[in-house]
Structure formats: structure tokens, C-alpha cells
Amino acid sequence: MAQFECTEHMESFLRELPKCEHHVHLEGTLEPSLLFKLAKRNNITLPESFPKSVEECTDRYNRFADLQDFLDHYYIGMSVLITENDFYDLAMDYFAKAHSDGCHHSEVFFDPQGHVERNIDIDTVIQGFHRACKDANSKYGTTNKLIMCLLRHLPAENGLQTIHSASKYYEDGIIHGLGLDSSEKPFPPELFTECYAHIKTNYPGIGLTAHAGEEGDHTFVSTSLDLLQVSRIDHGVNSHQNEELMKRLATQETLLSLCPLSNVKLQVVKDVAELPIAKFFEMNVPFSINSDDPAYFGGYILDNYKAVHTRFGFTMEQWKVIAINGIKGSWCDDDRKQELFELVEVVYKKYAVTIDA
Ligand SMILES: [Zn+2]
């Protein structure tokens, strides 16, 4: 249903435009090629029903029957991650790809509970990811932050224990945020009030976010704002159902981290064109565009930008506003934000001037 052309000039502009990613699960960046490599390295026998080659795997990922079908593959994928080096390699592959897509700042999710329940030490997970964040910074000049997510299908007490076992990483500034993911509807935000309150009280500088309004309705978004006191909402697509909420998001400048291609793959909408992105833009609700689980959903950050462009035909001026909102809503310091604002201006001038000439 693409209505607008993404010309070569526009594609180069979108690639070069300094982008920030706020919604990507590192475990969801496990490409089939790395999956098979790690399975071999760790002597893991994949289930008989699992695809046997990179090609078969890619093909299978193109036709998930539903959310559960995706999750089944996702958890088998996770089972090949064993050592600190595995977590490091996974994150480095993502940072390399994000860098080649023109992403300058990434705030990445990880799910420690999904590893701890497989008897992997939480330190192994965090140290591998943290080393990759540092190395990506020196190799590519990108800035990167880790956001620990709690799996909402597990009890809140388990979430609280996970926060306790990661406490030294919050204290040392190695983890920068708390998030909430996994199946939304049966596990509303209010179940996790205590987990969020604990972080807010003990680590006041830590960013708070939560997946809300993807399969849940707009009340999941307002409850996350009211009870969990998050400053950002992951997805938040269903916010458009309530005018008051939309005004609130605009006034408070609460960033929604949208994931267009993921929404299509998981059948939130049939096509990117159905997403209320134009409405968010018109009502000044800030949003960023992200990849969610790119190895499974067929696209990294630039693919998502292009998909939005071909449906909404934003002008370069409008794309500049989107990039600026992404920087404003990031959890990097003011100096880094200033650097990125200036870079946006440079890229915008380079491309907008070429068009005028
Ligand atoms: Zn997500």
C-alpha cells in the first residue's frame, strides 16, 4: 500500500539523518546466521522442528502465524546465548547494523529473566552487553544505553528480585532504565507498581518506560503514566483512541517509541498506512520510529523509516522534526543532545539545499 516514492535522494537523507533508537530488544536482533553459529559454538541441539539453515529460518520468520508462533521461535533463539561472549557478539552485530543505518544513539532493551530462568548468570548477560556498548562507542562513535526489561508474564515479585540482583549495575550507571515487555493484555501495568516505585525511590536518575497500548487499549497508557510514572511509552499506538490522552502526551512531551514493521508482523495493523502516525504528528505527540525485534520482523531502523515514508510521504522538514523529537526524548546528557541537534541541522541543510538548487 505504498503511496509515496522513496527516491534515492530521500533514502540517502533518511540514512544520513541522525537517528535515535529507543525500542529494540537485543534478543530480538539475533539473526539466523548468528543463531546457527552460536548453536554450533555451544554444542546446542536445536529442536527437530526448528529450521535447519539460515535460508529456511529466514523464510519461516516471514510467516509467523501469530504472536505465540513468533515467541516459540524467539525462545528457541535465546537458548543459544550462553557465554558473555555470546551476549557481546549479539549486541555488537546490532550496533554495527544500527551504525550503518545512521543510528547515532541507541537505548536497547534486554530481558534478564529470560536468561536467568535458563540458569545463565545475570552478570554474564549484563557484562557481555555492557562491553559491547563500550566497544561500539569507541568503534563507531555511537552512544548506547541499556534498559533492563521485566517480563510481565512473570510475577512482580520475580521482577523485584531481578531488580535487586541488578542493583550494582544501576548504582554504577551501567543500566540506565527500566522497561516492561512481553504479552501486554493479561498483565496490566498496575501489577508492577512496586517494581517501578522501588527504582524511582532508590535510583531517581534512572529512566522509566513500559510497553503499553500495543495490544492493550489507551487506558494501559494512562495507567503506565499515572501508576508507574514512566516518562516514555513503548508502542503507545492505541493512545489515539483518547483525545485527552493525546493532549496529555503532547503537553508532557511523552515520547512514544513506535515500531511500524513490528505492528504489521504481529497483526496490530494490516499495513503501516493504518497506523495513526499522521495524527500523532498533527497533534504534536512526540514519537520515534524503531525496529523492536528486527531479526524476526524483517527490518532495522532505516527499513522502518522507509516504510513510514512510503505511506505518509513526510517532507524533509517533517522528518527533521521527528529526528529532533527522538533526540529530545532520549536519555543521553544535554551535551550529547546538542551534538545530535547540530548534526541534524547539517544533514538537513545538505539535502534540502540540494533539492532547492
Ligand atoms: Zn518491544
Q: What is the CATH number of the domain that holds 127?
A: 3.20.20.140
Please list, in sequence order, all residues whose beta carbon lies within 8 angstroms of the beta carbon of residue 172, skipping any fewer than 6 positions away.
none
Q: Is 99 inside a domain boundary?
A: yes
**240 annotated ligand-binding residue:** no
Q: Is 51 inside a domain boundary?
A: yes
Helix (H, G, I), strand (E, B) or coil at 76: helix
- pTM comes to 0.97
Among candidate residues 84, 107, 184, 214, the one labeled active-site is 214
Q: Is 2 inside a domain boundary?
A: no
- The Å distance, Cα 280 to ligand 1 centre, comes to 19
Q: How many independent structural domains does the chain possess?
A: 1
Q: Is 1 inside a domain boundary?
A: no
Sorting pLDDT into bands at 50, 70 and 90, what band is 298? confident
Q: Is 250 inside a domain boundary?
A: yes
Q: Is 282 inside a domain boundary?
A: yes
**218 annotated ligand-binding residue:** no
Q: Rounded distance, CA 57 to CA 39, Å? A: 14
Please determine, for residue 227, whether its predicted confidence score (pLDDT) is greater than 90.
Answer: yes
CB 316 within 8 A of CB 348: yes
- The Å distance, Cα 168 to ligand 1 centre, comes to 25
- The Å distance, Cα 24 to ligand 1 centre, comes to 6
- The Å distance, Cα 292 to ligand 1 centre, comes to 5
**198 annotated ligand-binding residue:** no
Q: What is the pLDDT of residues 43-73, one digit of tens each?
A: 999 999 999 999 999 999 998 887 778 888 9
- Annotation marks residue 214 as catalytic: yes
Residue 127 is part of which domain span? 8-356
- The Å distance, Cα 217 to ligand 1 centre, comes to 16
**292 annotated ligand-binding residue:** yes
Q: Rounded distance, CA 214 to CA 91, Å? A: 25
pLDDT, residue 354, reads 63
Percent of the chain with pLDDT strictly greater than 70: 99
Q: Tell me the three cell numbers of residue 8.
A: 534515492
- The Å distance, Cα 293 to ligand 1 centre, comes to 7
List phi, psi (to 5°) of 6: -100, 90
**293 annotated ligand-binding residue:** yes
CB-based neighbours (< 5 A) of ligand 1, an ion: 292
CB 285 within 8 A of CB 246: yes
pLDDT, residue 357, reads 46
- The Å distance, Cα 321 to ligand 1 centre, comes to 23
Sorting pLDDT into bands at 50, 70 and 90, what band is 355? low
Listed residue (69, 63, 70, 93) closest to 81, CA to CA: 93
Over residues 252-269, mean pLDDT: 95
Q: Is 91 inside a domain boundary?
A: yes
